[in-house]
Structure 1
Amino acid sequence: MASHLYIATANAPLSDRFQEMLDMLMTGAAFGLPTALWLTNDCVSVLNALPANDSLLQLADFGVRCVVSDSATTGALQAEALNGDELRELRTGCQQVLVF
């Protein structure tokens, strides 16, 4: 189970703030903190409309678990699809939840 959960909303994926969030979660993961990134449906939709971004592909290399709702259309994004109950369980089971 992840101890840190980052929730990415559609508020400008791949902006400086989004990149800062990715840097934070990859740094924590590099130091062994179990970390997950939940890309909301709106965020996934915006990301699908943008050119591919290598920083999202690096998440698995840092041990970050990337998840989406099973109702999201992920396109080329590599993420684990979870149902509503699984997403709630992930959120309530984390020590720290950060929303960006």
Structure 2
Amino acid sequence: MASQLYIATATAPLSDRFQEMLDMLMTGAAFGLPTTLWLTDGCLNALAALPANDSLLQLPGFGVRCVISDTASPGTLPAEALSADTLRNLRKDCQQVLVF
């Protein structure tokens, strides 16, 4: 179970707000908080049109679990594909959910 779940729905990935979310993810993980990032299909589609982002690629190394829908294509992002039911349960079971 993740203690913190961040849901990236941003239509403008890699904006200042998106970067702030990535910084918060890495900070929480650095302090040992179980942290998960759910990249929604819309966010993944927008990211696919952009150059690779080193911060996103480094998240697993900081202990952040990255998840996507099992119907989405992660491209080069290291992400675990989960069913819709599993994603709903993940959201329900988290102590804190932050939507960006």
Runs of 5+ unmatched residues, structure 2: none
Partner of 1:55: 55
Distance in 1, matches of 2:21 and 2:77, equals: 18
* Structure 1: runs of 5+ lacking an equivalent: none
Residue aligning to 1:8: 8
- After the TM superposition, list the runs of 4 or more consecutive aligned residues in structure 1 that deviate by more than 2 angstroms: none
Residue of structure 1 equivalent to 2:64: 64
TM-score by length of 1: 0.97
Give the partner amino acid of 1:36.
Answer: T
Where 1:2 maps in the other structure, the secondary structure is coil
User: Equivalent residue for 2:95?
Assistant: 95
CA contact (8 A) 2:60 2:78 kept: no
Percentage identity across aligned positions? 77
Matches within 5 A, 1:3-42: 3-42=3-42
Whether the aligned pair in 1 keeps the contact of 2:70 and 2:83 (CA below 8 Å) is: yes
1:16 maps to a residue whose letter is D
Matched AA of 2:17: R
String of CA shifts for 1:41-68, please: whole Å, max 9, x gaps: 0000010111111000110111000000
* TM-score normalised by length of structure 2: 0.97
Q: Note the aligned Cα RMSD (angstroms).
A: 0.7
Aligned to 1:84: 84
Q: How many residues align?
A: 100
Is the CA contact 2:3–2:96 (under 8 Å) kept in the aligned structure 1? yes
1:10 Cα offset (Å): 3.2
